[in-house]
Every structure is written in C-alpha cells, then in structure tokens.
C-alpha cells in the first residue's frame, strides 16, 4: 500500500469518526463532546433543528447553546449517518452524508415520536491531528410523525 493511500484511508476514517462522535454526543446530550467535533468558529449555513435560522458564522459555544436548547424539548434522539462521500485536500475536506434520526418530542402527556431523513453537507479542517467540522448544512428530505402514520394505517 502506498503512503498516499494509507493517508487517504486514515483521513476518511478520521472524518467518519468525527461524525460518529457527533451523533453519539447528540444522542447522549453531551455538550462538551459535541463541541469537540467543531472548530472554534463554525459557519452554520442550514439547519433543521434551530427554528428561523439565517446562515452565519457562530462560536462553537453558541452553536452548542442553541442546539441543546432545542434538544431539551426531546425525550430522546437517535442519529444514524451513512453513505459518506469524502474528499480530502491536505488539511481541508468535504463530506456529504445521509442522515436519519428518530426522536421523541415532549408534547403534553404523550411524547410524539418523529423521524427525519436528510443530508449533511460539511466542510472539515484538520486541527491538532483531528478532523473538526468548520461548516455545516443540514437539509431535510422528509420527516414524519409516527403516531399520525399509525393512526392512518400507513
């Protein structure tokens, strides 16, 4: 195996590991672990979690504050990230990946179970030997309310 190929495999594995850590931090509501997945400043271009978001650069602390403020409305969430398409150029990379999330929203006496399918478009930067997200866009492809589906026999 050539050194170039070994580096490519290591970079792609490192990027996948960052996304796995991100998913785990979101699912376990671990703010500090979540922050380790990002650079100090992040361009949040598009999101489905934070209502009425206008694209702009924010500190990693503001991103975590806003994200976890929304997550406090949920009982649980489970994120799955697959089909990674990764391109690396030195210490910069892009990654497009499919996202699927199921969650339970606190909604009165009964939780509301919902699902969302979408796509991450990410830019990453190598910082101290680790891949961190410096730009993030999340696009929704579909969403559903499980209770509504069950009530309507779908």
Q: What is the CATH number of the domain that holds 13?
A: 3.10.450.50
Q: Nearest to residue 139, comparing CAs of 61, 20, 48, 75?
A: 48
What average pLDDT does the segment 75-90 reach? 94
At residue 146, the pLDDT reads 75
Q: Is the pLDDT of residue 127 over 80?
A: yes
Supply the pLDDT for residue 105: 81
Asked whether the predicted pLDDT for residue 59 surpasses 60, the reply is yes
Around Cβ 14, how many Cβ atoms within 10 Å? 17
Q: Report pLDDT for 72.
A: 84
The pLDDT of residue 154 is 54
Q: Look at residue 20 and tell me whether its pLDDT is greater than 90.
A: yes
Q: Into how many domains does the chain fold?
A: 1
User: What's the domain range around 46?
Assistant: 3-151
- In terms of Cβ atoms closer than 10 Å to its own Cβ (0-12, 13-18, 19+), residue 22 is buried
What sign does the dihedral 108-103-70-64 (CA atoms) show? Answer: positive
Average pLDDT over residues 29-33: 95
Neighbouring C-alpha atoms within 13 Å toward the C-beta of 19: 27
């Amino acid at each position: 195996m050539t050194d170039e190929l070994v580096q490519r495999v290591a970079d792609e594995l490192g990027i996948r590991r960052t996304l796995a850590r991100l998913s785990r931090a979101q699912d376990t509501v671990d703010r500090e672990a979540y922050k380790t997945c990002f650079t100090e400043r992040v361009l949040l271009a598009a999101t489905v979690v934070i209502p009425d978001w206008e694209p702009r650069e924010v500190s990693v602390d503001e991103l975590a504050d806003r994200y976890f403020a929304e997550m406090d409305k949920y009982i649980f969430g489970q994120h799955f990230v697959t089909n990674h398409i990764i391109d690396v150029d030195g210490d910069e990379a892009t990654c497009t990946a499919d996202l699927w999330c199921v969650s339970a929203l606190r909604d009165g006496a009964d939780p509301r179970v919902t699902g969302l399918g979408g796509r991450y478009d990410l830019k990453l930067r190598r910082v101290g030997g680790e891949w961190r997200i410096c730009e993030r866009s999340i696009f929704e492809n579909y969403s559903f309310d499980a209770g509504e589906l069950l009530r309507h026999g779908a």
